[in-house]
Amino acid sequence: MRGYPIFLDLHARRVIVLGTGEAADRRAELFTSLGAHVERIASFAEARIAGAALAVASGAPEADLAAFSAAAQAAGVPVNVVDRPELCSFITPAIVDRDPITIAISSGGAAPVLARLLRGRIETLIAPAWGRLATLADAFKAETRRRLPDIPRRRRFLESIFSGRTADLVAVGEEAAARAEYQAALEAAAAGSARASEGIVHLVGAGPGAADLVCLRGLRLLGEADVIVHDRLGTEAVLDLARRDAERINVGKSQGDHTMPQREINALLVRLAREGRRVVRLKGGDPFIFGRGGEEVEALEEAGIPYEVVPGITAALACAASAGIPLTHRAAAHAVTFVTAHRRRPDLGIDYAGLLRPGVTLAIYMGLATLPRLRDELAQAGFDTDMQAVLIESGGTIQTRVLRGPLEELASGANAWATGGPVLILLGGTADYGKTTING
């Protein structure tokens, strides 16, 4: 190591910040947030270095920077001059803050930009909940030491807390339940008995299927899951990011082919959680937009299973972005409506007159197979079936394909055009925005 890392308590201690500008302002704000008494000075002549806990400088004349550094080092005060390592007695790290957990990354001054990039990667792996978990453990610290005086035994107990149900409950914001779980686990450990653990279910939206469009929380949960219950479409590339040894269960559905009925999926999620497993229910798009996430949540609540819902980028957003079509536009659409054309009833159950109004973009999910019926029902409702329509297949992925044209033409040729990916249909509003030629 080029330097010895330490964490300095600055609470109620004096810190001098010399200079002006963004770098000096950021450091002053940081030291203030740590409880320090920050003394801002514009020139070295104003410096009262003796007795300070720390001295930092940026945005001052060269002569002041050099004199400030020399005076601080002579007084035994740690000093940092931003981006001037030859004038520093210490360097500032890139920081990941998960209060009370702090992670500091340093390259010893060799590559500070690389240190910041590494911080960004670590940020994606360390959930904010880890800080709350540390706070919970701190609240039980004295009781845990008293009831488990044997250090190896206490260490094993804490490892189970930090990787088990208590941590899961903290992660989903169930602080009271987490405290109760910690207390019960501690009593069982002190009595020398083992508690049967219960798992948790995370409903994670995989988005359109592009791995780099999954949110950071979803990515982290995929790395922690014991078992992943996933859909058929929109999850393939995302699954490659998951923990390699996690069990994978495909419960995907397609038109007329349901690998597992919904009630059996609900029962599966409950059973896996009761076995004490961390479950990720990976769903294409967003769990709560035509993804039956609501039905799964109802089953989990009825069974008393803790759960968390992690949103995903839904198809309408991904498809519109891929096609360069805004779903709303001040000159064309003031509203957007999501509907599904995947229904068991003879008609599609869409209120065309109420939904397909001027200034409204209609985004229709799962409508490829029923597109001819959609055209016929629009005609029966009095709409011109030569209206502009857009079909977007596999939106948000590198396989995105777009077909534009009059609805009458698309209804006749769409099945021959499609290649098997999920298709979204746009009508009205901004459907004729931008290009009007067919591509794909």
How large is the C-alpha radius of gyration of the chain? 29
* 178, two tokens: 């987490």
C-alpha count within 13 angstroms, C-beta hemisphere, residue 186 = 21
- Residue 197, CB half-sphere, CA atoms under 13 Å: how many? 18
- 97 catalytically annotated: no
* Token pair 């599609």: residue: 348
Cβ atoms of 247 and 271 closer than 8 Å: no
- Beta strand 388-393 pairing with 423-427: antiparallel
Of the residues 25, 226, 253, 376, which is catalytic?
253
At a CB cut-off of 8 Å and minimum separation 6, what does 190 contact?
147, 148
Catalytic residue among 231, 283, 351, 435: 231
Q: Does residue 257 carry a catalytic annotation? A: no
Residue 382 Cα distances to 159, 172, 356, 385, angstroms: 66, 49, 11, 9
Residues 358 and 334: their CA atoms lie apart, in Å, by: 9
Are 291 and 285 a contacting pair, CB within 8 Å? yes
The set of catalytic residues is 231, 253
